[in-house]
Structure 1
């Protein structure tokens, strides 16, 4: 036990706030998955992701405010300052993809869009589980198992992106090529940010074993 823990109890609200952010990522991911399966009608749900993203900004702001006020924290301040923006970045990228889908007015979905959004949803589930496990710093292996799955899903998404880019260039519709390439690359950025969350969780968990 650290000496500072004997003086004041740790501020456990950070874990609650991180869980809140993870749940918001999961909700936004589920909504994105619905959109890609319901195009073009489902695009009306893009506003829901925008609302979730705004709520996520408020949670992130609360995390930093609490960090500045707290004398004792369950994680090191630099760990909190790393994980908070990593989670917020995922929400930002999810919101951007939803914005693109709405702006580009796709008349129908595609297998790639559906598969990509499903991978994002599955990854968000792992983030929720990993953040939950992180709250119990005596279970690093449980955190690690979810991080490994995040990494596996990220690798699958990278393979999907490569196949998708090759596929869209087979069409003769130049405008559609531009739209889909833009969207696919944004979906890849969501997965990249999810993987960054995994790295942050891994480093934090290892430092507390």
Structure 2
């Protein structure tokens, strides 16, 4: 029996690595959301520049985690849940990081000095969304508190709906008030990148819901 137990132990830790990596990604996204919030609430351009660079570093870190998940997926034939779900969750979490980074980069590149309430509100919704993802992903490890996972996913869906409304109003307002075509294009691109980040949070929540339906 001892031989069988050590044989089991040989494989057990390998599938646990996915939980750790997803938790690392989620923690990294929470930090990116917080830095984005700090970026949009300051008009000090040098502080803003620092925040953009920090988001860029965190985005690279996220790429490393995502790469490690894909490497583990290629090497392990034992996984905690379906391989395609692991792949899709890793890819959609990476998309969230990309769009947070994309938003920050555009604010910096386009030299948008005056950031409005719509931008601040969208950044806040992203930050709240990744915080809920963090909660849900931490519960995946033992799946004891299914209610916590579904609650987090429901919140992410409602945050995304709220972001849609803010985006629609911001775009309508932009076309009503902005007469400079270049400014209009810049602002629309920033709004879009922020709104897509909330969409990607919802995509992540949908994958998590798929996983718990299969394993509940």
Displacement, 1:40? 4.6
Q: Which moved more, 1:72-81 or 1:21-30?
A: 72-81
Corresponding position: 1:34 with 2:41:
no
Q: Determine the structure 1 residue equivalent to 2:119.
A: 113
CA contact 1:161–1:188 (8 Å) conserved in 2: yes
Q: Determine the structure 1 residue equivalent to 2:63.
A: 57
Q: Which moved more, 1:132-141 or 1:19-28?
A: 132-141
Q: Determine the structure 2 residue equivalent to 1:9.
A: 12
Deviation per residue, 1:138-183 (Å, 9 max, x gap)? 3222211100000000000000011101111222333322211111
Corresponding position: 1:140 with 2:143:
no
Q: Determine the structure 2 residue equivalent to 1:165.
A: 171
Q: Determine the structure 1 residue equivalent to 2:109.
A: 103
Q: Determine the structure 1 residue equivalent to 2:92.
A: 86
Gaps of 5+ in 2: 1-6
Q: Determine the structure 2 residue equivalent to 1:3.
A: none
Larger Rg over CA atoms: 2
Deviation per residue, 1:52-88 (Å, 9 max, x gap)? 1111111111111112222322112222111111111
Runs of 4+ with deviation above 3 angstroms = none
Gaps of 5+ in 1: 1-5
Q: Secondary structure at the match of 1:39?
A: coil
TM-score by length of 1: 0.93
Q: Secondary structure at the match of 1:136?
A: coil
Q: Which moved more, 1:76-85 or 1:134-143?
A: 134-143
Q: Determine the structure 1 residue equivalent to 2:48.
A: 43
Deviation per residue, 1:10-62 (Å, 9 max, x gap)? 52110110011011111111111111101352421101111111111111111
Q: Which moved more, 1:46-55 or 1:164-173?
A: 164-173
TM-score by length of 2: 0.90
In 2, Cα distance between equivalents of 1:154 and 1:136 = 27
CA contact 1:140–1:206 (8 Å) conserved in 2: no
Q: Secondary structure at the match of 2:41?
A: helix
